[in-house]
Structure 1
Amino acid sequence: MRIVVSGTHASGKSTLVSDFALRHPEFAVLADPFELVDESWDTPSAPLFAAQLRISAARLDPGEAAENLIAERGPIDFLAYLLALDDSTGMSNSLELLEHATSMTREALAHVDLLVVLPLTAADEMAPDADEHLMLRDAMNDVLLDLIGDSEVVGGHTKVVELTGDRSHRLAALETLAIGSTR
């Protein structure tokens, strides 16, 4: 089972991945791609998101990754960030970049069994710091929710679910989807 946990920043991804990994050590954990990029890139930008998209897509290649894995973020996250950056800043990314990002996302998601999306909701929203680029956070959330409904991006193989609720509810739902489906 290959799982990707997606959502905007400060949506609970790290917590869910960590909680799941503690209970299911048979799953390899792929950390947030941000941890693998140059630390000098601390401001959201198209090059930063494109680099993370490439990393997140490459690590989902079946020849490169374990059969059972849970990844914090996938290429769809960074496609959403690229599109949200356009929306929130008014600066357009090149059409070529967006087409390539969409293609990479589609190809990578063909190797994902379960895409878990953690949407922002008033009931279970995390409290981000003021320096968390709140406009971009909200814009990315909206774009991501649109993208998961686009069969041209997600394809037909990947099961997509949105999880809401508190920490224990999200973990229980993920376990039911991931472990219950392999028994």
Structure 2
Amino acid sequence: MRIVVSGTHASGKSTLISDFAARHPEFTVLPDPFELVDERWDSPSAALFAAQLRIAAARLDPDESAEHLIAERGPIDFLAYLLALDDLMGSSSSRELLQRSTAITRDALQHIDLLVVLPLTAVDGIVADVDEYVALRDAMNDVLVDLIEDSDLVGEHAQVVEITGDRDQRLAALEALTTGPTG
């Protein structure tokens, strides 16, 4: 089973993946693509998100990755960041970049079985620090929730599920999805 855990920054992805991996060592964990970017940027930018999108997509290629994996973030996360950045900054990305990013995302999502989205909710109790670009965090969350509804982008192969709740509830929900008939 190939799982991508998506969500805006400070939404609980790392915690959920860590908890899941501790119970399921048969899964290869793919870290946040930000950890794999060669350069460090001081602030979010279209170039940073495009680089991470390419990394996130390439590592989902079945010829390049494990059969059982759980990835922190997929290309859909970075497409959402690019679109959110455009909304906030007023067209910071070129139309060509957005089209190319959409195509890369669509192709990569064909290689996953489960897309878990951790939307921001007040009841989850996850609060971002002030230096976490809160406006971008909120905008990306809204765009991501819209993108997962786009069947042309997500395709028919992957099951898409939003998971909310506290830490234990999220882990229980993910485990139920991976041990069910399709898991």
1:105-141 per-residue CA deviation (whole Å, 9 max, x = no partner) reads: 0000000000000000011041111000000000000
Deviations 1:31-85 (A, max 9, x none): 0000011342131000000000000000000000000000000000000000000
Range with bigger deviation, 83-92 or 9-18: 83-92
Pair 1:103-2:103 in alignment = yes
Q: Secondary structure at the match of 2:152?
A: helix
TM-score (norm 2): 0.97
Report the number of matched residues. Answer: 183
Structure 2 partner of 1:157: 157
| Residues 25-174 of structure 1 mapped to structure 2, 5 A cutoff | 25-174=25-174
Measure how far apart 1:92 and its partner are: 3.1
What code does the residue aligned with 1:119 have? Answer: P
Q: Distance in 1 between matches of 2:125 and 2:85?
A: 21
Find runs of 4+ consecutive structure 1 residues off by over 3 angstroms: none
Any unmatched runs of 5+ in structure 1?
none
- Mapped contact 1:11–1:125 kept (Cα < 8 A): no
- Which secondary structure does the structure 1 equivalent of 2:115 belong to? strand
Q: 3-state SS of the aligned residue for 2:26?
A: coil
Q: Under a length normalisation based on structure 1, what TM-score does the superposition of the two structures give? A: 0.97
Question: Where in structure 2 are there 5+ consecutive unaligned residues?
Answer: none
Q: Which residue of 2 aligns with 1:9?
A: 9
Identity %: 74
| Displacement of 1:87 | 0.8
Per-residue deviation at 1:88?
Answer: 1.3
* Aligned-partner Cα distance in 2 for 1:28–1:181: 21
The answer to whether the Cα contact below 8 Å between 2:4 and 2:116 also exists between their aligned partners in 1 is yes
SS in structure 2 of the partner of residue 61 of structure 1: coil
| Coordinate RMSD, CA, aligned | 1.0
How far off is 1:182 after superposition? 5.0
Q: For 1:10 and 1:75, how far apart are their aligned partners in 2?
A: 17
Does structure 1 conserve the Cα–Cα contact (< 8 Å) formed by 2:46 and 2:92? no
Deviations 1:10-45 (A, max 9, x none): 000000000000000000000000001134213100
Secondary structure of the equivalent of 1:123?
A: helix
- Structure-2 separation of matches of 1:181 and 1:27: 18
Letter in 2 for 1:169: Q
